[in-house]
Structure 1
């Protein structure tokens, strides 16, 4: 019995390793491309990302919120940083100037987050991020992630065309993982993500042997603030600072969803400890040119897919990722994992996140009037996600990063609606 349990823990740990790796590796590569970093600097940020993502996961799971929730690069801040980097020519600023402004804003946001935790101001933040705001955030996060991974698994070429052979393989992986999840025995179902990655990786290697599917490996050049030294570009600082504070909704949504999944009530101390850790990681991230960290709400979808809620495999998976980041041959091996395969598997895992968002509105009765508090922010947010950024070229530069980010705008609209409209009055009128 003990041997079986050890085996389950081992495979669960590797499943967590691949999940964390797949969610991590693309981020520093895309940031490096957006800011035109030299290949050796991008390699440095990628290795730093693997090392400290593993460390962050272990610290949060051990002393922070104490749930098996991945601590990873914030999707919200990732989008903001990508948008600012890609907008550098139109903003009339150099990449180092924008990167430096981002660093200043994130450092300030990290300090404020630490203050919120240190002075126990969490209750005031929770008044802003109400349950309805969290519901809007969960729906928009689900759509944003699904869009990203759906496009990624299609193997879209530089010309913007779908790679049909790769798309068929991705579809096959999606079907395989779904069948294993729905029809397999409990043990098979719990490891459907790991099986999908391994099988997809093997078939990709056999079908596309000469394709450079990984991220490559080059010599490493270490430096502090690789995106740019902190400066006083106030417009960029304001955007990064605001996005950094809005990133707090990840923590509240993740802990709340995890506590419901585990069947317990998260304590005030768990929120406080988690925010303190996140504030520290937010300060540390720009020093190494990384996207700041946050508890991954999308981990809930992974947990629901695997049905393995123990912390031990998660902590081991985080430690393994750190070890891999420290040993170049291990990085070179995992670098061969096809990004499209990872996207296909994550696409299935994150379908569960929609269920989390849907369950968050259970018990809430909507009328023809009150439905606006959910429909307006969600649908406007999704609409903005599907508009090309250059459509806002005539909008003031400082507003573009906000308007081109459907997640930020949806959450902002939800906060405004919750604070400015007395929804209980409309419910009473309907009754």
Structure 2
């Protein structure tokens, strides 16, 4: 308990606060913009995000997996939802229908995740996510999120306006400079300063943005209109969207495996079955809550690995303090309002640097796989197919049946599914026993 009151714990907690904050604030604003919500509804969802995420972090640290790993609105889900909104706009699907169907799919996904936790299926499912699958997941996950953050850095809006948007040169220049500063601090600064690189980047960037643009925020905030259920749309059944949501929920379990396996070395012990069960159960509960409140579903953040490597703050107390402060930001609207004025371009620049660490995470998994000219297809196919699909415009998928279109138009989901199939259907090590057939030594 004495650790809780140390000034160093609170300073580290402040760093955690800004990491949680920067990973959260961009998500409800971009989703609200993508769904064309009024500003007061976005403000309400943003405030709810602070409250629910703060509680989720504390609950996971205290009775869940009990590690300093952020529990937040899943980047995989975020990417899927933004992709689906782009497809809906391109194909004239009412966004309220998409939102209502997503709500049903997210709630069902939450129930499924709770079931995985309560029945102890987590370790069994974990066997499907071998190093090759996790390497593909980490890489595609990084590509998707880095793309989102890069757009934010360049001043490209989300939603309907993104179709005809152009790069904002002045916003881009400030954002790129901040990203470079954070990278330099992360590489060159002494360890006791390096651990606060993200915090320093946010403070410098926020000040620089206000000085350059006269204090204009990327998204102006208005008073919250109060909390409502299903703000993205009343529940409605669309088979394609719901199937995609359920599959996204299943693939979202990779976040839990990635975050927990990725921190085993730091905590010098392997994740236990009870930790997996508790983590999945809590994630499922908060995912169900997210479906009702119109939030992006939850998961342990894989990017926490990069944060822990960068800062060395692996104790739970600072993380719990950060979650508590984030919760307070949500329940006291003026505080939340002040911090929500952080420009999206600055938050995106800092997160851009943070998520670059996913390449290292991906590489560490791939190093456990013995690649050669015969079995390289196991990862090459899902990686290249997934990335190519990410670059294709939504209009290309109009000829695909509606029930599978939302799934097949997501490069992230397609890549992960291909990796799972290739790893668990084929035996890739057979050539080790038949090398001589190919004239190899």
Q: TM-score, normalised by structure 1?
A: 0.94
Tell me the distance in 2 between the aligned counterparts of 1:265 and 1:319: 27
1:154 & 1:343 partners in 2: Cα distance? 9
- Secondary structure at the residue paired with 2:6? helix
In the alignment, does 2:140 pair up with 1:136? no
Aligned residue among 281, 285, 291 for 1:280: 285
Find the partner of 2:329 among 301, 324, 330. Answer: 324
Residues 1:234 and 1:399: Cα distance change in structure 2 (over 3 Å): closer
1:187 is displaced (CA, Å) by 1.0
Q: Which residue number in structure 2 is paired with residue 309 of structure 1? A: 314
Residue 393 of structure 2 is matched in structure 1 by 388
CA distance in structure 1 between the aligned counterparts of 2:15 and 2:219, rounded to whole angstroms: 19
CA distance in 1 between partners of 2:16 and 2:77 (Å): 23
Q: Distance in 2 between matches of 1:94 and 1:381?
A: 27
Q: What is residue 6 of structure 1 aligned with on the other side?
A: 6
2:151 aligned with 1:146: no
1:12-411 to structure 2, matched below 5 A, reads 12-88=12-88, 93-156=93-156, 159-411=164-416
Deviates more, 1:361-370 or 1:284-293: 361-370
Give me the whole-angstrom Cα distance separating, in 2, the residues matched to 1:191 and 1:335. 21
Q: Do the aligned residues in 1 keep the contact of 2:74 with 2:296 (CA within 8 Å)?
A: yes
2-side partners of 1:19 and 1:215: how far apart?
22
Give distance in 2, aligned partners of 1:8 and 1:389: 49
CA distance in 1, matches of 2:90, 2:349: 34
In 2, the alpha carbon distance for the partners of 1:250 and 1:175 equals 28
The change in CA–CA distance for 1:13 and 1:407 in structure 2 (over 3 A counts) is same
**Shift in alpha-carbon separation, 1:98–1:348, aligned structure 2, 3 A:** closer
Greater Cα shift, 208-217 or 50-59: 208-217
Q: Report the RMSD for the aligned CA atoms in angstroms.
A: 2.1
Is contact 1:302-1:350 (8 Å) kept?
A: no
The SS at the match of 1:177 is: helix
Alignment check: 8 A CA contact 1:305 1:352 kept: no
Cα gap change, 1:344 to 1:272, in 2 (>3 Å) = same
Measure the CA separation in 2 of the matches of 1:50 and 1:417.
39
The worse-fitting range, judged by mean Cα deviation, of 40-49 and 229-238 is: 229-238
Distance 2:150 2:36 in 1: 26
Q: Output the TM-score relative to the length of structure 2.
A: 0.91
CA apart distance, 1:290: 0.8
Alpha-carbon distance, 1:193 to partner: 1.0
User: Can you list the C-alpha shifts for 1:158-199, whole angstroms capped at 9, x where unaligned?
Assistant: 553222222222222122212212221111111111111111
1:91, 1:397 within 8 Å by CA — same for their partners in 2? no
Offset at residue 428 of structure 1 (A): 2.8
| Runs of 4+ more than 6 Å apart | none
The separation in 2 between residues aligned to 1:28 and 1:425, in whole angstroms, is 47
Secondary structure of residue in 2 paired with 1:294: strand
For the Cα contact (< 8 Å) 1:236–1:398, is it kept in 2? yes
1:310: Cα distance to partner? 1.6
* Displacement of 1:63: 1.1
Gaps of 5+ in 1: none
CA distance in 1, matches of 2:369, 2:227: 52
Check the 8 A contact 1:134/1:253 in 2, yes or no. yes
SS at match of 1:25: helix
Following superposition, the deviation at residue 89 of structure 1 comes to 5.2
Q: Structure 1's 156 and 40: CA in aligned 2 closer, same or farther, altered over 3 A? A: closer
Deviation per residue, 1:54-107 (Å, 9 max, x gap)? 111111111111111111111222222233334335656533332222222222
Q: Relative to 1, partners in 2 of residues 1:235 and 1:174: Cα closer, same or farther, differing over 3 Å?
A: closer
